[in-house]
Amino acid sequence: MQKLSDRTAGFTDSVIRRMTRISNQYGAVNLSQGFPDFEPPKEILDRLEQVAHEDFHQYSITWGAQNFREALAAKQSPLMGRKIDPSSEIVVTCGSTEAMMAAMMTVANPGDKVIVFSPFYENYGADTILSGAEPIYVPLYPPTFQFNPDELEAAFKQKPKALILCNPSNPCGKVFTYEELSIIADLAKKYDAYVITDEVYEHIVYAPHKHVYFSSLPGMWERTISCSSLSKTYSITGWRLGYIIAPPEIIEVAKKVHDFLTVGAAAPLQEAVIPGLQFGQSYYDDLQTKYTHKKDLFLKGLDDIGLVHTNPEGAYYVLLDISEFGYESDLKFCEDLAREVGVGAVPGSSFFREPVNHLIRFHFAKKDETLQEALNRLADIRKKLK
């Protein structure tokens, strides 16, 4: 038999998704792969029920159903500070996972360099490999996860085609300030690079931090490929609804990539989510309040147990320092944690370029009682893992 493709040799399966399978195997409370265990908004579910009996069972337009794109453009335009054209400036994708992949394929040729901050969401590694690009990693330094502007400029001097910006950031919870984004913008302009954003946590930001859309910075619309999704905002990660927003010349190319990758996102689901896209500001305020409460509940619980952790400014992840347990492998720690303590986590090493083995990631997008159950189990962690 001939060898399978070299392209796939450079990465493993997703550790995040693997940890969900391991958590299920041991009946652990799964705080690994980030997805909620509470219901999506009722308005969306009610519409889903109706849609089953309406005419939405065949392909929608490949780059997204017209009314979905119109509703999305109406929602995003005021947020992103410009009038987005639903016909020429949006491609609807199967989750932001496809959006990011399509953006990479749109921008990068094999051999092109792409800047990735470390820690990073693990898909970006595979995205660069699959598109043939070569990542240049630039560290974000704990505890605030700031970058060093000189290191960033040194990366830009290697003539990258693009920079990937996850903001608010998974897994470190960083919300980039306007000043930090301006530094990136100046460098992108100076070295003529694109910026591919992943803004799926755009509505999960903790006061006093604020989300700034990168494309809204002066001169950045032209060179930004904004990717996001409805997964986190409406608690529908399984619906796989994502999108790319960018100038027409870029979208023209992204539409082609998307068309041949997946044809299109699920037509009935695009229709069913429209009431969500039409929610007023109070929905997003409530979402913020809900996640702020969950963050406070979970972090206080970790503090009570005496576990050292980061303080996220946005998104719904927390990194926990496991140095005190003396493990050499954070993967082994997470396996033991799932089996012995009954809580699922993701090993930090799957997010860092640097040899980091002392961190694990929990997410707190769960019902209060689920978080409480995880905390009850974690209370015994030192008895079980030391």
CA 211, 160, 231, 244 torsion-angle sign: positive
Q: Count Cβ neighbours within 10 Å for each residue of 21-47 and write b for 16 or more, e otherwise.
A: ebbeebebbbbbbbbbeeebbebbeeb
Query: Residue 315 Cβ, how far from ligand GLN at the closest point, in Å?
Result: 9
Q: Does 34 bind ligand GLN (CB under 6 A)?
A: yes
- How far, in Å, CA of 351 to CA of 310, rounded? 15
Q: Does 33 bind ligand GLN (CB under 6 A)?
A: yes
Nearer to ligand GLN, 89 or 202 (CB): 202
Task: Count residues near ligand GLN (CB under 6 A).
Answer: 7
Query: Residue 34 Cβ, how far from ligand GLN at the closest point, in Å?
Result: 3
Nearer to ligand GLN, 84 or 200 (CB): 200
Q: Which two tokens stand for residue 262?
A: 């997946």
Nearer to ligand GLN, 78 or 238 (CB): 238
- How far, in Å, CA of 310 to CA of 353, rounded? 19
| Count of residues making up the chain | 386
Nearer to ligand GLN, 176 or 351 (CB): 351
Answer yes or no: are the C-beta atoms of 329 and 358 closer than 8 Å: no
Q: Does 233 bind ligand GLN (CB under 6 A)?
A: no
Nearer to ligand GLN, 251 or 343 (CB): 343
- Angle between helix axes 178-190 and 149-156 (nearest 10 degrees) is 30
**Complete edge-to-edge strand list for the sheet that includes strand 359-363:** 308-309, 317-321, 359-363, 346-347
Position with the least CB separation from ligand GLN: 34
Query: Residue 200 Cβ, how far from ligand GLN at the closest point, in Å?
Result: 7
List the x/- string, 109-148, binding to ligand GLN by CB under 6 A: ------------x---------------------------
Q: Does 97 bind ligand GLN (CB under 6 A)?
A: yes
Nearer to ligand GLN, 51 or 197 (CB): 197
Nearer to ligand GLN, 32 or 357 (CB): 32
Nearer to ligand GLN, 117 or 156 (CB): 117
User: What is the dihedral angle through the alpha carbons of 100, 103, 109, 113, rounded to the nearest 10 degrees?
Assistant: -60
Alpha carbon of 167 to those of 172, 191, 226: distances in Å? 10, 21, 11
Q: Does 17 bind ligand GLN (CB under 6 A)?
A: yes
Q: Does 16 bind ligand GLN (CB under 6 A)?
A: yes
Query: Residue 78 Cβ, how far from ligand GLN at the closest point, in Å?
Result: 26
Q: Which two tokens stand for residue 345?
A: 């986590």
List the x/- string, 166-185, binding to ligand GLN by CB under 6 A: ----x---------------
Residues binding ligand GLN (CB under 6 A)? 16-17, 33-34, 97, 121, 170
